[in-house]
Amino acid sequence: MTNPLQLKYFVRRAASACLLVTLACGGKQSSQNPSPQTTAPLPTAGIAGQRVALTPLTLVGAEDTLHLDALIADRRATLDRSDSVIGALLTARAPEVTWVGPAELRRIARRAPGIAADPDQMGTSFLRATSILDIPDPLRYQLRTLMGLVGGRYVLVPAGLVFRPVRPLPGHGAEPPPASSSAHPPVLAELEVVMVDSRMGKVGWRTTARGEGPDAWAALARAVKNLTPGLP
């Protein structure tokens, strides 16, 4: 039996976060660039004990100033390693959820040719657009069909990953990094994450997980850890 309140739980968290931001800003637009919003914790209370699909990442990018050309050029290897980092950390830090990762989703889809879509070709990256609340077809149908085979309801979608140089916060100056670190500037990873209710065809929760590190992979690991705070 499913819990009809779970989707409302996700939406309520997102709405509360928006309300807090509005109140903090006094309801006015700032003339300066606002500070990035804090990563919202993954709402595991609403999905504990359930099978939740974790779709493969399909979009990765990096700003030119980081000189991550090799990482971006080998797209397949980068996507696979990103999936591995995300899946391993979520499994270790949120064991109350039964995560069904990209490799298993691919196996499930291959066992149902003509029925289930290839998880790498479902176009989930467009869900990074914050204006999307209702999932359009064919993605809605694809996710619902896949979850019928997985045996669950919710899908966690890493919708996009971007690596950026670490920049000072507004009001903290714009001092350049020390010369000794110029060859390897610190990296900021921004991972767009969306929770989808495949039965309702709606986005129930979303956040941008951010993390900094001395390299791209350390930054991504920190971003995923920020989804599950309270652990080292």
pLDDT at 219 over 90: yes
User: What beta strand segments (E) does the chain contain?
Assistant: 51-54, 60-62, 98-100, 154-165, 187-197, 202-213
Contact partners, residue 132, CB within 8 Å, separation at least 6: 126, 203
Predicted confidence (pLDDT) per residue in 158-192, tens digit: 999 999 999 765 554 444 444 444 466 899 999 99
pLDDT at 214 over 80: yes
**Three-class SS state of 176:** coil
User: What beta strand segments (E) does 75-121 contain?
Assistant: 98-100
Boundaries of every domain in the chain: 50-166+184-232
pLDDT at 167: 79
How sure is the predictor about 230, in pLDDT bands with cuts at 50, 70 and 90? confident
CA atoms of 14 and 191, how far apart (whole Å): 17
Fold of the CATH domain 50-166+184-232: Rossmann fold (3.40.50)
This prediction has a pTM of 0.80
How sure is the predictor about 35, in pLDDT bands with cuts at 50, 70 and 90? low
Task: Report yes or no: 189 and 161 within 8 Å, Cβ to Cβ.
Answer: yes
Predicted confidence (pLDDT) per residue in 19-29, tens digit: 333 323 333 44
